[in-house]
Amino acid sequence: MASRITERIRRTNAAGKRAMGIFVTSGFPRPEVTVEVLRAIDAGDADFIELGMPFSDPLAEGLPIQRSSEMALAAGASMKSTLEAARAFRAESDTPLLLMGYLNPVLRFGLSNFFDTAASCGVDGLILPDLPPSERALVSEHADRVGMDIVHLIAPNTPEDRVRQVDSLSGGFVYAVSITGLTGTGHGQREAVNAYLKRSRELVTRNPLLVGFGISSHEAAMELSAHTDGFIVGSAVIRLVEEVYGDESLDAGERQGRIARFVRGLKHGQV
């Protein structure tokens, strides 16, 4: 049976739209507004949300996400507060929710404890960029026990046999990185990226294929996801969250409204 993540992506595709995932760092800019931000993203018609687990050394991230992680930790964010935010969001929405981050904080929390707690909080999936498919066995038993999807990533330099392996091991979707390098820095060479995504679409047959990293507008999302089932946006949303929460003249409703409008525009264009 397809997971809630896959079902949502397929349903959006069947309606003639590309699915949209939104990444935001838990605890950014401070832990007490995380659920408020998730609520705004949900109101913007996100098909799923990736809630980032703050980490002190997010090497694969661009500056906006690095900075958001640093600010969240400085404001007191933790794995506990991240899971509490997930639980609170799940109590009011059935939109698929994934946790994304690095393996070290998960190991520190304890694998069994992490998966049990995350599942009880309504988390549907987990993305660990530093967990290669060859080491998936480290988490497989726990993920399978609680029915949680593990999403693996591919990049332009991923060999074809590895792409097929990633597809066979992933649940929810396969995450195609549009550039080899840091997130949020742009598309890279257009023709090469399009060729990579077109070939990946041919190789990924079991799961939906979504592309992310470097998308900041509806036009860029539509162009980059032409050969995929959808797209993921992170850095552009992080920048907006920092902007609206840095503007003391805005109240909570106005902040949520601006985030929701931006997210909706990414998926549907400006209307």
202 noted as active-site residue: no
Query: In sequence order, which residues have a C-beta less than 8 Å from that of residue 8 and are 6 or more positions away?
Result: 19, 47, 48, 95, 96
From the list 14, 66, 47, the residue with the least C-alpha distance to 221 is 47
d(Cα 37, Cα 120) in Å, to the nearest integer? Answer: 21
From the list 4, 7, 2, the residue with the least C-alpha distance to 229 is 7
Given the residues 7, 32, 36, 61, the one annotated as active site: 61
Given the residues 50, 84, 92, 202, the one annotated as active site: 50
For the beta carbon of residue 116, count every other beta carbon within 10 angstroms. Answer: 14
Q: What is the DSSP letter of 41?
A: H
Entry field: residues in the chain: 271
Q: What helix, strand, coil percent values describe the chain, rounded to 5?
A: 50, 15, 35
Our CA dihedral for 71, 76, 80, 86, rounded to 10 degrees, sits at -50
223 noted as active-site residue: no
d(Cα 240, Cα 266) in Å, to the nearest integer? Answer: 13
Beta bridge partners of 19: 230
Q: What is the DSSP letter of 26?
A: T
CA distances to 15, 51, 109, 138 from 22, in Å: 19, 8, 25, 27
Question: Is there a contact between 206 and 168 (Cβ–Cβ < 8 Å)?
Answer: yes
Catalytic residue annotation: 50, 61
